[in-house]
Structure 1
Amino acid sequence: MLFIIASQISVAAQENVLVERQITLMGSMFNITVVDRDSTVANHNIDRCIDEITRIENLISEWQPQTQISEVNRNAGIKPVKVDREVFELTERAISYSKMSEGAFDISIVALDKIWKFDGSMTEMPSEESIKNSVRNVNYQFIKLDRDSSTIFLQQKGMKIGFGSIGKGYAADKGREILQKLGVKSGIVNASGDIATWGTQPNGKPWAIGIRNPFKNHKISKILKLKHGAVATSGSYEKYAEIDGVRYSHIIDPKTGYPATGLTSVTIYGWSAEFANALSTSIMVLGKEKGKKLALQYPQYRYLFITDQGKIIR
C-alpha cells in the first residue's frame, strides 16, 4: 500500500551515495536506505541498523521461545515476569494506546481463537457463540504492570501478548535513531510498510512516499513528501473475507471478535512509526466516524482513509 518514489538520481553528480538493502527481519521484509559519504561506510551503518532491529526482535518476539515476551506468556495466570525496562515501557505504551482507543487496540489480541479465515475459503459467518468465545482471553485490562519491579503479569491463564502491530513501527523508529546517532544524515527504514524517514534524498528533495489506491490499479491516492517523518497503513486490501457482499478485514475488534468493516485502508503519518501504526490499527477497528474523532485528537498526525466503497477521506 505504501511505496517509495525515488527521484532519478545521478549518483556521480552527488557528494553522497544512496545505498539500499533488503532483508527479512521480524518475519517481514525490511528495506533500509541510507545516504552516506561512500558505499563502504553506508553498508557498515546498515549492518548496525540490522543489529539493532535483530536485538529488538530477540526481546519482543512472541514466536521465539527465548524472548522475554514468550516468558511473560508462559507465565500467564501464574506469576509476574521481570523484563528489561525497554520491554516494560513498550508494553506500557501499548496499554496507553488501548486506553486512548477504548480497547480498539489491544496487544493481547494474539490470544484470539483463529475462527476467521482470510484466504478466500470462508463462505459463511462463524456462529455468534464461537465469535464471542474467541476473545475470552483478550483484554488489555488484565495486563498488570509493576513499574518499581519492572514486571509484567498476565492475570488470566490462556492470555498472551504480542507486538505484531506496533513492533515493526517501533523497530523502524529505533533503526532511524541508531543511524542518526551514527551520523547518517538521511535515509529510510521501511519495516514492511511502517516507514521512518529523515533528511532528504541526495538531490536535496524530500522523500516521496506513495499511498496506493487498492480500488484503482497503479493509481496513487496521495504522495507524501517527508523529511523527518513516519507513515503507517493498516488495511484489508490484501487479507479479507467477503461474505454476502460484505468485506471483513483481517483486523479483528478485540472486544467483540468481529472483523473490522467499513474502511479498506487507513494511513497515518506524523513523527513516530510506532504511534502511526497504533493509530491506524485503532481506526480500522473504530470505523470512519469514531476513527476520525480519534485522529483529530492528535493534530500532529495526519490521516487518509479509504472506505469499502472506495471513497477517500482526508
Structure 2
Amino acid sequence: MKKWVFLFLIFSGFSTLAQVQRKRTVKLMGSRFDITIVANDALTAEQRIDTVIAEVTRIENLISDWIPTTQISAVNKQAGIAPVQVDPEVFALTERALHLSTITNGAFDISFAAMDRIWKFDGSMTKMPSPEAVKKSVEKVGYQNIVLDRKKSTIFLRKKGMKIGFGALGEGYAADRCRDMMLAQGVQAGIVNGSGDMSTWGRQPNGEPWTIGITNPLHRDTIFAIIPLRQSSVVTSGSYEKFVLFNGKRYAHIINPKTGYPATGLSSVTVFGPSAEIANGFSTSVMVLGKEAGLKLLKKQPDYQYILITDDGQIFSSPDLPIKQRRL
C-alpha cells in the first residue's frame, strides 16, 4: 500500500533581510525528506534542520518494521504468542491507524505489512497472478485481529505470521511531529516533506503562502494546478508511475488489503488538511475505494479537502478549492 507521490513546492520571491530560508535533502525512513526552515539567520536554520533530522530518526527507531530492535518489530515477532507493551506514542499511533481502518472499512490496514508481494511493478510481470495466489497473499492481513489494551499499553496480533507496519503513515506522522516541535521552539515557518507527506507552517520569507504544484497524471512532465496551502498538510497518492496493464486496464501499485488486487480507476488523489498522517490515510484509502466510495468518505471529513483525478482524466475536487477544470 505504499503510495507514489508527486507534489512540487513552488517558491516565489526573495528572502527579506530579516529572514533566511535553508533547505536540506536527506534520506530518512528509507525515503527522501526535504526539510525547509525559515529563521532569522543561517546558523539557526541549519541547527533546526539538524533537530528535525534527529526527531525523524528517533521516530524511525521506534516504529520501523524493518529495524529488528524497534517496538513494532517486537510486536510482529510475538504475533500469535503474546501481547507486547509499547510506549504511549506507539500505542496512540496504532490506535489512530485502527480508527482509519474502521472508517474506511479496511481500505486502509496497517497489517498489510504481512501481505505477500506477488504483484511486481518493475516491468517483470507478464500475466495476472492466479485468483488462488491473490487470495493467499492476504491471508495474514486483517486489522480485526489487532488487539489493543489501552490500560496496559499493549498490542497483540492474534494470528501467527501477522505483521503491522507504518510505511503508509510513518512519514506523515514524522512530518506532523516535526512541524509541531518547530512551532514549539519558536520557528515561525518551514516545511517537512517526507516522501510527499508534507507538513507546512507559516509563510515564505517574502510573505507569500507556501504553494504546491500538482502533476498532471496524463502528462507527467506538466503541472495541471498550482494551489496555495491554506491548510498545513498535503499528501498525494498516485498510480501513474507504478502500475501494470493487463487487457487495457491499469492496475495501480497500491493494493487493496482486503482483496489482494491492485487499485483501479483513479490516477491521483490529493488530500489537504491539518495532519499529513491522516491525509495520507485518506489518500491511500481513496485510491483503493475508487471514485464513488472515496468521495463519500471524503465528504464526511469537513477538515480535509481533496482533488481526485480518474484514469480517464476527470477531476473531482472540494467546492472551495480553486480548480476550474473538470477534465484533463
| TM-score normalised over the length of structure 1 | 0.97
Alignment-derived partner of residue 157 in structure 1: 160
Alignment-derived partner of residue 133 in structure 1: 136
Number of aligned residues: 312
Query: How far apart are residue 237 of structure 1 and its match?
Result: 1.4
Query: How far apart are residue 227 of structure 1 and its match?
Result: 5.1
Kindly provide the amino acid, as one letter, of the partner of residue 7 in structure 2.
L
Is the contact between residue 199 and residue 227 of structure 1 (CA under 8 Å) also seen in structure 2? no
Kindly provide the amino acid, as one letter, of the partner of residue 138 in structure 2.
V
CA distance in 1, matches of 2:230, 2:20: 18
Alignment-derived partner of residue 278 in structure 1: 281
In the TM superposition, 1:283-302 aligns within 5 A as 283-302=286-305
Query: How far apart are residue 192 of structure 1 and its match?
Result: 1.0
Alignment-derived partner of residue 148 in structure 2: 145
Matched, 1:86 2:92: no
Is the contact between residue 122 and residue 243 of structure 1 (CA under 8 Å) also seen in structure 2? no
In the TM superposition, 1:14-29 aligns within 5 A as 14-29=17-32
Structure 2 unaligned spans of 5+: 1-5, 318-328
Is the contact between residue 20 and residue 31 of structure 1 (CA under 8 Å) also seen in structure 2? yes
SS in 2 for 1:242: strand
Q: 1:2 aligns with which of 4, 7, 12?
A: 7
Kindly provide the amino acid, as one letter, of the partner of residue 94 in structure 2.
T
In the TM superposition, 1:176-215 aligns within 5 A as 176-215=179-218
Alignment-derived partner of residue 262 in structure 2: 259
Kindly provide the amino acid, as one letter, of the partner of residue 85 in structure 2.
K
CA distance in 2, matches of 1:300, 1:23: 31
Is the contact between residue 13 and residue 206 of structure 2 (CA under 8 Å) also seen in structure 1? no
Matched, 1:48 2:59: no
Kindly provide the amino acid, as one letter, of the partner of residue 193 in structure 1.
G
Alignment-derived partner of residue 65 in structure 1: 68
CA distance in 2, matches of 1:19, 1:113: 41
Q: Percent identity?
A: 58
Q: Which runs of at least 4 in structure 1 moved beyond 4 Å after TM superposition? A: none
Is the contact between residue 169 and residue 280 of structure 2 (CA under 8 Å) also seen in structure 1? yes
Query: How far apart are residue 310 of structure 1 and its match?
Result: 2.0
Assess, with a 3 A threshold, how the Cα gap between structure 1 residues 117 and 244 changes in structure 2: closer, same or farther. same
Query: How far apart are residue 235 of structure 1 and its match?
Result: 1.3
Deviations 1:72-120 (A, max 9, x none): 0000000000000000000000000000100000000010111111111
CA distance in 1, matches of 2:194, 2:154: 28
Q: Give the root-mean-square deviation of aligned CA atoms.
A: 1.0
Moved more, 215-224 or 121-130: 215-224
CA distance in 2, matches of 1:189, 1:223: 19
Kindly provide the amino acid, as one letter, of the partner of residue 306 in structure 2.
Y
Kindly provide the amino acid, as one letter, of the partner of residue 301 in structure 1.
Y
SS in 1 for 2:219: coil
CA distance in 2, matches of 1:87, 1:242: 38
| TM-score normalised over the length of structure 2 | 0.93
Query: How far apart are residue 217 of structure 1 and its match?
Result: 3.8
Query: How far apart are residue 181 of structure 1 and its match?
Result: 1.2
